[in-house]
Amino acid sequence: MKKTMTSRERVLTAISHAEPDRVPIDYGANPGITRRLMTHYCLEANGYGDLLDVLGVDFRYVGAPYTGPCLHAEIPGINVDPCWGYQTRWIENESGGYNDYTNWPLKDAPAETLRSWPMPSPDDFDYSSIAAQVDAHKDKCLLVGSAGHGDIINSTGMIRTMEQTMLDLAMEDEGMLAYTDRRFDIQIETLARTIEAGKGRIDMLSLGEDLGSQKGPMISVAMYRKLLRPRHQRFVDLARSYNLPVMIHSCGSSSWVFDDFIEMGITVVDTLQPEAANMAPAYLKSRFGDRLAFHGCISTGGPVAYGTVSDVVENCSETLDIMMPGGGYCFAPTHALQDNSPTENVVAMYETARRCGVYE
């Protein structure tokens, strides 16, 4: 066996296309799954960090909390995001529940409303907390950003509806694009200040853009290159100015845009839904494995949710066999694990990663 690495060493080795001691591991789940796992492992209610350690998770996210004023009025029975104005409410289902978007305050908004929509100032975030976050996770791979950074389609759809957002892109609507650019200006400045506050210990920048359905692209290559790519490039250029690799989250059948990602300087692609068109692990590894690293591939709509423990072990083992050689792979669910996933299946998923993900 290879010498045991720190989480930071493990991730950076893997995404540079070398083989670490074991495959890096990441976690994402609905709160219901997390509570059940903590009960399974006999952890205290505030022991989320302990759960990540038990599962072998190598990644931690660092961010400056918002400390500014509430920019959007409260609505009874609705969760209103104080910064951006997204509106959600709790939806129960037979497995648990989740917060779903229920009102779209910019659905029919004219250009002047989009241009003047209240947004936070980069000055209203607490960057002084970053040093403590870094110190608490000094051996982990530390990321800034999220799938909600740099994304146009998903986040705009949350406040303007998906239908209107797609129409805005087709029409190159100036109001929506101005709204997007304002949001990105704030995100980029906030990220830059967060990275600076990390004093050289931030390891990766994360951003997102959902670009595929299960069957194929959501938009054309031409639209991506004209409207989205230049805006994504701003985030990539920020990361490169600090010599940080970039991971981008993209749902569905999105491999059609991976060559553009490579040209832009993106290092890692996240999600990788294996059931979507042209997203099977073997296809991704053979087509892009020498130029991109991968984070994901374990479907939250596959055996982990609907199979037996044996099905989960088989699926995870096969994925590892395909993706591990030569490095370039981080084991993770494609999205947040959903409440319909049996606890024993999630436990088996992570046990398989720790057992079968070791490099000889």
Q: Which of 146, 145, 140 is nearest to 59 (CA)?
A: 140
- Chain-wide mean pLDDT for the chain? 97
Q: Is residue 320 situated within a structural domain?
A: yes
Residue 45 scores a pLDDT above 90? no
Q: Find the mean pLDDT for residues 285-304.
A: 98
DSSP 45: T
pLDDT of residue 318: 98
Asked if residue 83 lies in contact with residue 34, where contact means CB atoms within 8 angstroms, the answer is: no
Q: Is residue 113 situated within a structural domain?
A: yes
For residue 54, the domain's CATH number is: 3.20.20.210
Q: Is residue 243 situated within a structural domain?
A: yes
Residue 27 scores a pLDDT above 80? yes
For residue 268, the SS3 value is strand
Q: Is residue 1 situated within a structural domain?
A: no
The residue written with tokens 């104005």 in the block is 85
pLDDT of residue 1: 62
For the chain, what is the domain count?
Answer: 1
* pTM score, whole prediction: 0.97
Give the range of the structural domain holding residue 285, as residue numbers without chain letter: 7-356
Q: Is residue 85 situated within a structural domain?
A: yes
Q: What percent of the chain has pLDDT over 70?
A: 100
pLDDT of residue 46: 87
Q: Is residue 140 situated within a structural domain?
A: yes
Q: Which residue stretches of 198-308 are H helix?
A: 221-223, 229-241, 258-264, 281-288, 303-306
- C-alpha 82/C-alpha 304 separation (Å) is 35
- C-alpha 193/C-alpha 307 separation (Å) is 44
Q: Is residue 223 situated within a structural domain?
A: yes
pLDDT by residue (tens digit) across 154-180? 999 999 999 999 999 999 999 999 999
Q: Is residue 288 situated within a structural domain?
A: yes
